[in-house]
Amino acid sequence: MKDYITACGFPLRRIGNTLVPRLILGHLPFIGESYQGPEKNREYRARFSDIKNTVRILRTAVEKYGLTVVAAGIMPGNKLTSLFFKAIRETERLTDIKIATIPCVQIPLTIQGKPVDTYRRWLTYYKLESSIIGKRTLGKYLEDPVLQCRPGWKAEFRDALQHSKPYEREELKHLRIDDEKFENAIKNMKDFDVLFAELGSETDFLAMTDKFGLVADLVDQLRSRSGYRVLLGVHHAGLTIPKLENSGINFDGYVTPVNKLGVMMFPTRNMALMAINASKRPVIAIKPLAGGRMEPSEALEHVYKEVGISFCMIGVGSVSEAEEDFRTAAAILKG
């Protein structure tokens, strides 16, 4: 069986000592997330409930374009996750090519034994970011098109602003990781060729509340106990990346949104780009097409050429999308 490097059809660059293709296949469409609303999500869930459809796209990626590294989210409770893992295995069998993975592990956070509340977590971000950029923060939160795809997001966030509050210092003293859930998530990765383990965007919450010890513990657990190199996933790059750069934590790079529209780039697109450009670590750009709201040629020219990001991750929902996106990326990277 060929390894991911030998079979790779895209230029490679290093993150640390690891060779990584400049294009990586995203996973979210395969587990039913379109970033375009409930109707599209239902379409994806129906399509990728049949493993043959997933394998068809993976074979196109691997055999025709040499796209041999894929993201793979560890999403407890999502039935499509296990089907996606089976599709990777089946594609390896059919192509005789080893597919390397970058699994994203959600960080199960608790306070006094209860899961961290999503809206209070976002209120905590809001308090910090609005203290820097003022009234613009509310518009950014309410109008971001990806956030709006969450059912009831706008109304529920407005309600949280009126009737809830950010997490305060005393509560944050009790912030913990659910070790059992985290260890179970890691076990799901053991049978795959893992290039990096990515800690999910809960990293933003830990960094913005100065819980660097918890981040360091997770990184150490992935490195020392499982032998994985580690990336940190962030969506609030403008604030989170500078904090992590100065934290002394030993990790390998970032996974963060980069796109021309500024979708999911917090607190502002400009602040996120400033932090990305100042970072000493490599960045893998996600959401380059702003959740399907940009044409691939303009989107990828922006990420690779204008911003100068080395690595990009793209999710596709069909063979035709895959053909267009992969062909476009290949042409830009050869230019």
Report the C-alpha gap between 121 and 133 in whole angstroms.
Answer: 18
318: phi then psi, degrees, rounded to nearest 5? -160, 165
Listed residue (205, 178, 181, 175) closest to 112, CA to CA: 175
What pLDDT is attached to residue 80? 93
Point out the residues of the chain with pLDDT beneath 50: none
> E strands within 281-322?
283-286, 311-314
What pLDDT is attached to residue 79? 87
| Exposure letters 295-310 (e unless 16+ CB within 10 A, then b) | ebeebbbbbbeebebb
**Alpha carbon of residue 151 to chain centroid:** 20
What pLDDT is attached to residue 317? 96
What pLDDT is attached to residue 225? 79
Domains and CATH numbers, the chain: 12-109+178-334 (3.20.20.100), 117-166 (no CATH)
Listed residue (225, 265, 18) closest to 143, CA to CA: 265
Residue owning tokens 């039913």: 32
What pLDDT is attached to residue 253? 98
pLDDT in tens, 73-100: 887 778 899 999 999 999 999 999 999 9
Other Cβ atoms within 10 Å of 321 Cβ, number: 17
